[in-house]
Amino acid sequence: MKTSANHLAHALRANMRPDQPFICGPHPLTYGAFWQGAERLAAALEISPGDRVVMQVEKSVEALQLYVATVLAGGIIVPLNPAYTRTETLYFLEDATPSVFVTPTPEGWPVPRALTLEALLSEARSGFKPVPRGPEDLAAILYTSGTTGRSKGAMLSHRALASNAKTLQKAWHFTAEDRLIHALPVFHTHGLFVATNVVLMAGACMDFMPKFSVEAIINAMPRATALMGVPTFYTRLLKAEALSQAATNMRLFISGSAPLLASTHQEWHARTGHTILERYGMTETNMNTSNPYNGDRRAGTVGLPLAGVELRLDAAEAEIGVIEVRGDNLFSGYWNMPEKTAEELRPDGWFITGDLGQIDADGYVTIVGRGKDLIISGGFNIYPKEVEAVLDAMPQVQESAVIGLPDKDLGERVVAVIVLKSETNKDAIIESARQNIARFKCPQDVHFVDALPRNTMGKVQKNELRIRLGNMG
Ligand code: MCA
Ligand code: AMP
């Protein structure tokens, strides 16, 4: 490849045919129109190479164009969940110091330029030339919550994104004949990189849905070939009577972002004849492992390391240990946090995931738990520490412990256990939390106790709480 190219854009455009649809369904858009629109938007950004562009917008094709436009302009895209509160958003803006912030509410933010997506689109113009960027230049920063408080911005290079998209396209046999049902949000790795980049790279098309809907997906399946989702997608789809019929001509169902129960895997097979392909990744690493396209897709496992990804445990074979990974798929460190980077990314390139795994004799990896205190609810990650800080700041709360309890729909749900210092009730606690943190992080249930169980070191015993409250159903 020419060194003067824009590495990621060049890779994503390699197989596209301008007259073929990128977006299919009721509002189709060709590849030619998509890329041309992105170039016009790149001109409107008026940024310099390395500048950050924060986008906090509802899911839309224009949001995808903004991502691609930022890459073309040599910038760094920083997508944020629109569900974040103003306080949460302020933290990200102060940390990322973007040149441009695209938001539906542009007033009063401490950034040089805040505007709506509509306003930016109205400034789109032709004559833009893609800015050359090399493999190690950054293309994106995605924030991932920190176990010790502050969210960390994972810096993702052109190399990491392009190489992982290529690996996945090959591993999952995506071609221009594919039609992917895209019902994921586009502010996380799964919806933005795994789904969108793989489709772009293959020159395939996607049924781009504004959000998850059982009905819309069932209706789309007869014309589609593939679906990517979090386990909650699959448990909800299993409730639809029309599933078996609708899924007949699909080629591939992929699950990730949270553990897929073996029972869901088996029920899906019984109902549709298809075997869900489960894979495992992280914001910092993109995708690490996948069950095979051809071969045994084993329920309860996340499959084998992907091509170009090395994986090891910090334990002897057959034992449980923390998973470490190395490869071109890895991030380049945490934005503005060299000490955090040094704690998790070894000098020889191995990244410490914090996930506890086991590898069987055939090389299949099973995630058996997490070394980190993390709740995954419907595919969204919630760090208890962040929720506890919000609860502990309430005047009626003495102390709190936040845990995840099993949930049939979301996999885990957020539950708060609170010791009070003055009278209040569950609803007031939940309402107060909602003022500070995004709704998906707020406790769905609150239990009041006289004291939190602690070990001899004074550490709260969350396992004990999980057993106690889990048994209460
Ligand atoms: C929505 N709500 C939730 C969640 N989603 N609460 C807890 N956990 C959730 N996951 C709340 C809303 O705040 C709202 O609260 C109420 O539920 C209804 O909102 P709605 O949007 O209608 O919910 P939904 O459509 O039923 O959403 C459920 C969902 C969604 C479809 C499972 O959460 C989703 O799209 N999840 C995918 C997340 C994802 O893409 N993760 C990938 C991360 P209220 O009523 O109080 O207002 S990337 C990653 O993890 C790695 C790298 C990887 O390997 O992929
Ligand atoms: P994130 O913070 O969004 O990068 O989430 C990454 C975390 O999601 C990983 O460290 C795992 O704990 C979890 N995860 C992703 N895929 C899977 C999977 N297939 N099974 C179990 N956990 C998963």
- Alpha carbon of 440 to ligand 1 centroid (Å): 7
Mean predicted confidence (pLDDT) in 147-157: 86
Q: Give the per-residue pLDDT at 145.
A: 79
68 and 150 co-located in one domain: yes
Per-residue pLDDT band for 150 (boundaries 50, 70, 90) equals confident
State the distance from the centre of ligand 1 to the C-alpha of 350, rounded, in angstroms. 31
Inform me whether the pLDDT recorded for 318 exceeds 80: no
Q: How confident is the model at residue 372 (pLDDT cuts 50, 70, 90)?
A: confident
What pLDDT band is residue 314 in, cutting at 50, 70 and 90? confident
**Residue 93 falls inside a structural domain:** yes
Ligand 2 atom index nearest CA of 154:
4
> Ligand 2: residues within 6 Å at CB?
144, 256-259, 278, 280-283, 302, 353, 355, 367, 370, 376, 381
Q: What is the pLDDT of residue 458?
A: 87
In a domain, 1, yes or no: no
pLDDT band at residue 4, thresholds of 50, 70 and 90?
confident
Average pLDDT of the residues in 258-269: 97
DSSP conformation letters of 70-84? HHHTT-EEEE--TTS
Please state the atom number of ligand 1 nearest to the C-alpha of residue 280.
54
DSSP secondary-structure letter at 14? Answer: T
Cα separation, 470 vs 317, whole angstroms: 32
Residue type, 358: Q
For residue 250, the model assigns a pLDDT of 98
How many Å lie between the centroid of ligand 1 and the Cα of residue 410? 8
- Judged against a pLDDT cut of 70, whether residue 3 lies above it is answered with no
| Site to substitute for ligand 1 among 59, 161, 212, most atoms within 8 A of C-beta | 212
Share of the chain above pLDDT 90, in %: 93
Is residue 120 located within the same domain as residue 230?
A: yes
Domain stops at, among 346, 366, 386: 366
Q: Which of 187, 178, 167 is nearest to 89 (CA)?
A: 187
Q: How far apart are CA 277 and CA 291, in angstroms?
A: 6
Looking at the structure, do residues 211 and 236 belong to the same domain, yes or no? yes
Q: Are residues 111 and 252 in the same domain?
A: yes
Q: How confident is the model at residue 26 (pLDDT cuts 50, 70, 90)?
A: confident
Question: What total number of domains does the chain contain?
Answer: 2
pLDDT, mean of residues 67-92 = 97
Do 269 and 408 share a domain, yes or no? Answer: no
Looking at residue 25, its pLDDT comes to 86
Of 10-19, 70-79, 316-325, 409-418, least confident by mean pLDDT is 316-325
Local confidence band at 147 (pLDDT 50, 70, 90 cut-offs): low
Residues 422 and 303 in one domain: no
What is the spatial distance between Cα 122 and Cα 125, in angstroms, rounded to a whole number?
Answer: 9
Asked whether residue 326 falls in the same domain as residue 299, the answer is yes
Q: What is the pLDDT of residues 383-416, one digit of tens each?
A: 999 999 999 999 999 999 999 999 999 999 999 9
Residues 31 and 90 in one domain: yes
Measure the CA–CA gap between 255 and 257, rounded to whole angstroms: 7
Domain termination site, one of 366, 399, 434: 366
State yes or no: pLDDT of 309 exceeds 80.
yes
Q: Give the CA dihedral 159, 164, 169, 171, nearest 10 degrees.
A: 140
Domain with 127, as residue range(s), is 7-366
CATH code: domain of residue 446? 3.30.300.30
Look up residue 163 and give its two tokens: 């190489």
**Strand ordering across the sheet containing 365-370:** 309-313, 321-327, 351-359, 365-370
Q: What is the pLDDT of residue 470?
A: 82
CATH number for 348: 3.40.50.12780
pTM score, whole prediction = 0.96
Closest alpha carbon to 365 in 410, 407, 325, 411: 325
Q: Could you tell me if residue 2 is inside a domain?
A: no
> What is the DSSP-derived secondary structure letter of residue 435?
H
The mean of the pLDDT values for the chain is: 95
What value does the mean pLDDT take over residues 189-200? 98
* Residue 11 lies inside a defined structural domain of this protein: yes
